Amino acid sequence: MSTPVALPPLIAILRGIRPDEILEVAKALVDAGIRGIEVPLNSPEPLVSIRRLTERYGNECLCGAGTVLKAAQVDAVAEAGGKLIVTPNIDRAVIARSVELGLQAVPGFATATEAFAAIDAGATALKLFPASTYGVQHVKALRAVLPGTKVFAVGGVGAHNLAEWAEAGIDGIGFGTDIYAPGRSAAEVGARATAIVSAWNQARGSVHA
């Protein structure tokens, strides 16, 4: 088993992206300072996009798949070069296979019970999803029992409310439509990503000041 590539604090979720636009959008993200890119498996030809993404930017950022629901999909993502496996739920088989292949396993959770089940299965980080439903107070309460585990907030988090999540002790954030939506130009994606990176750096600076 190889050591997983480091998990960056900001991950762009490119749900619906096509293989013919992945590289242009990825360049905009990397130029803006984003070092994590997720292609959900319910996107058009996701494995093609992941392969192109990892071949071009695999040395500059952590690339992989989201909405991974089965262990067999983990193998397919790994074969395409992906190093990141993100799920909307807790599936022990998916987590275990990801860990076995040396990939970052970031399953979705909501409760303390789910969090510890994921950790027990080998998860390298946790994804509070959907974050907007549970809120920052939920994170603050969970942090008391998850001091050594990285927790990401995904769903309803953007530049407008990023500061309150950083203050709550979140380790990272996954951004979907706040960064990318089908039909959005690479230039706009880059501008949105730049604003988010700036907001994150400012928020983290305020927390540690």
Catalytic residue among 38, 79, 140, 164: 38
| pTM given for the model | 0.94
User: Does pLDDT of 209 surpass 90?
Assistant: no
Average of per-residue pLDDT across 145-160: 92
User: Does pLDDT of 183 surpass 70?
Assistant: yes
The lowest-confidence range among 50-64, 148-162, 195-209 is 195-209
Dist. CA 15–CA 140, nearest whole Å: 28
pLDDT in tens, 89-134: 999 999 999 999 999 999 999 999 999 999 999 998 999 999 999 9
Instruction: Confirm whether 38 is a catalytic residue.
Output: yes
Instruction: Confirm whether 127 is a catalytic residue.
Output: yes
Dist. CA 30–CA 27, nearest whole Å: 5
Dist. CA 53–CA 56, nearest whole Å: 5
pLDDT value for 4 = 66
Dist. CA 132–CA 154, nearest whole Å: 8
Catalytic residue among 127, 140, 150, 164: 127
pLDDT in tens, 153-169: 999 998 889 999 999 99
